């Protein structure tokens, strides 16, 4: 019975993704019909195409890599325990019961200076600038189910979820609400504790790796799940302005990135580009997150360039630095309490 429960849990992963995508796409298609601004419709089309591209690529990679990863993990498990009997379904069930698949995949992408240098960029961006961005702009533009974009990003790919969130912002027809200028302690503490877990990841062992990883993922979602209640929890004495929060996130993520870059520099015994390219294809899980970093960075650059931002071209350094560092830096320059990178003022 346990093996079938494990298989059901495995299948529910894909079912949850299908349900979330169905809900969000239904909302976005309805908003597309309501949006009369031609510029915003064109921008929405651009980011929808980027979402499709990133979905096809990361999920081609994901399915291809996942199938190879599943096969690798299954073979690795059966080699260790010496079990090859039973139907394939029974073997899968036994493997799922006795293998921490989620932990195994993440442990792989966090192990070694090169792999972690790639992975930490996405982790820093997700729990830092992107969490604030969804929180602030989700409320400002009255985006329905903003928390689903974070969940979708953690289940599928941040690049897919971020592009769909850009689409939602472009298609939003709701009048912008008055924007709060201060972040509650719940929000900024969740973000900084998440960033602490990111910075601590390469120093964990197998005993504390999973708890640390769960802290990272869970705290990133807490502010979005409880967003309607956070404004009532504002304590002026302990609150931070959003511009200051973006700036502090920039400082922390820059420190994390510089530290890991130094570690990588002193650990390399081959050319930098060759080491990164080799790491990108070194393991199915690493390939999936590596391409997600690339798509997320490219989409962020496109969002910044097509927006009415004074410092939009700062985003062009993203490929040379890190989306986790550039995004909060640009946001801290642009945020004025009325939203960030909203696009054409004609949309208002």
One DSSP character per residue, 138-180 reads HHHTT-TTHHHHHHHHHHT-HHHHHHHHHHHHHH--SPPPPPP
| Residue with the two structure tokens 């502090």 | 248
Helix pair 113-125, 272-280: axis angle to 10 deg? 70
Residue owning tokens 């997150």: 289
Dihedral angle over CA of 234, 172, 166, 46, nearest 10:
-170
pLDDT value for 296: 96
Residue-wise DSSP of 238-276? G-EEHHHHHHHHHHHHHHHHHHHHHHHHHH-SS-HHHHH
In order along its 348 residues, the chain shows pLDDT tens digits of 455 665 676 678 888 999 999 999 999 999 988 888 889 999 999 999 999 998 888 766 656 666 666 666 667 666 766 665 666 666 666 666 655 666 777 888 888 899 999 999 999 999 999 999 999 898 888 898 999 999 999 988 999 999 999 999 999 887 777 666 788 888 899 999 999 999 999 898 878 888 898 899 899 888 888 776 665 555 666 788 888 999 999 999 999 999 999 999 999 988 999 999 998 888 777 888 999 999 999 999 999 999 877 888 889 999 999 999 999 999 988 876 544 544 443 433
Element (H, E) at 15: helix 2-34
Alpha carbons 182 and 233: distance in angstroms, whole number: 11
3-state secondary structure 57-104: HHHHHHHHHHHHHHHHHHHHHHHHHCCCCCCHHHHHHHHHHHCCHHHH
């Amino acid at each position: 019975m346990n093996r079938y429960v494990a298989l059901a849990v495995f299948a529910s992963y894909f079912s949850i993704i299908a349900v979330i995508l169905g809900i969000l796409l239904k909302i976005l298609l309805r908003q597309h019909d309501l949006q009369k601004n031609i510029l915003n419709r064109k921008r929405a089309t651009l980011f929808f195409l980027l979402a499709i591209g990133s979905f096809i690529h990361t999920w081609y990679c994901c399915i291809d890599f996942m199938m190879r990863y599943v096969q690798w993990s299954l073979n690795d498990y059966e080699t260790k325990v010496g079990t090859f009997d039973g139907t394939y379904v029974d073997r899968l069930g036994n493997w799922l019961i006795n293998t921490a698949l989620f932990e195994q995949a993440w442990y792989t992408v966090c192990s070694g200076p090169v792999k972690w240098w790639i992975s930490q960029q996405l982790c820093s961006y997700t729990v830092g600038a992107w969490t604030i961005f969804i929180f602030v702009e989700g409320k400002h533009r009255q985006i329905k189910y903003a928390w689903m974009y974070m969940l979708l990003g953690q289940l599928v790919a941040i690049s897919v979820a971020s592009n769909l969130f850009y689409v939602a912002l472009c298609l939003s027809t709701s009048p912008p609400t008055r924007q709060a200028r201060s972040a509650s302690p719940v929000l900024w503490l969740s973000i900084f504790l998440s960033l602490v877990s990111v910075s601590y990841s390469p120093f964990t062992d197998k005993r504390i790796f999973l708890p640390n990883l769960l802290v990272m993922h869970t705290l990133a979602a807490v502010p979005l799940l409880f967003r309607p209640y956070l404004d009532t929890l504002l304590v002026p004495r302990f609150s931070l302005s959003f511009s200051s929060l973006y700036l502090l996130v920039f400082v922390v993520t820059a420190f994390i990135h510089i530290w890991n870059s130094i570690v990588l520099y002193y650990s390399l015994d081959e050319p930098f580009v060759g080491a990164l390219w080799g790491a990108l294809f070194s393991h199915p899980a690493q390939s999936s997150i590596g391409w997600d970093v690339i798509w997320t960075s490219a989409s962020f650059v496109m969002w910044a360039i097509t927006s009415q931002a004074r410092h939009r071209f700062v985003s062009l350094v993203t490929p040379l630095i890190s989306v986790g560092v550039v995004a909060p830096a640009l946001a801290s320059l642009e945020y004025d309490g009325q939203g960030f990178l909203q696009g054409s003022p004609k949309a208002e």
